[in-house]
């Protein structure tokens, strides 16, 4: 990829609304039947991210399929994760999607780390509400 194309992708990241990015991630997870999606609102709690999107799959293959679907959906809008870790192992995939950190676990690993409890002070965003009212989380 040319440097100018890479630069445009980075600039475009700043023009995609937070709520739109969350919705795209949510739709990708739903398309692969990712389980128990939870979005933690980190605005005001983290200087690095605005949200964690957390879900799990039933197997390493399922976890990888969910991660692949997210990456494909982001590429469709000319974005891509800044980095993806854990895809080879498939027990915990971490995707840096700019202002959203995506954690895709297998069920055992999610139960062990309990990120929702670790970040229990973060409000939970209701994606069902935000899909019908996208401006409610921006």
Lowest mean pLDDT among 40-49, 86-95, 103-112, 123-132: 123-132
Q: What is the pLDDT of residue 128?
A: 72
Exposure string for 6-25, b = 16+ CB within 10 A, e = fewer? eeeeeeebeebebbebbbbb
Q: Would you list the domain boundaries of the chain?
A: 3-137
DSSP, res 95? E
More confident residue, 81 or 12: 81
Quote the radius of gyration of the chain (alpha carbons, Å): 14
Residue 82 buriedness (CB in 10 A; 0-12 / 13-18 / 19+): exposed
Q: Mean pLDDT in the chain?
A: 87
pTM recorded for the entire structure: 0.82
CATH fit for domain 3-137, picks 3.30.460.10, 3.40.640.10, 1.20.1440.60, 3.50.50.60: 3.30.460.10
Q: What is the pLDDT of residue 5?
A: 60
Is 74's pLDDT higher than 50? yes
Nearest to 69 by CA among 109, 113, 40, 102: 102
């Amino acid at each position: 990829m040319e440097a100018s194309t890479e630069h445009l992708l980075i600039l475009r990241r700043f023009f995609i609304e937070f709520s739109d990015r969350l919705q795209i991630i949510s739709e990708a997870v739903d398309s692969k039947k990712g389980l128990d999606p939870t979005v933690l609102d980190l605005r005001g709690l983290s200087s690095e991210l605005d949200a964690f999107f957390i879900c799990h799959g039933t197997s390493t293959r399922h976890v990888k399929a969910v991660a692949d679907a997210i990456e494909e959906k982001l590429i469709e809008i000319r974005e891509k994760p800044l980095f993806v870790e854990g895809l080879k192992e498939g027990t915990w995939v971490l995707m840096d999607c700019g202002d959203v950190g995506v954690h895709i676990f297998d069920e055992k690993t999610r139960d062990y780390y309990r990120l929702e409890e670790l970040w229990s002070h973060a409000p939970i965003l209701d994606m069902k509400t935000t899909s019908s009212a996208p401006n409610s989380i921006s």
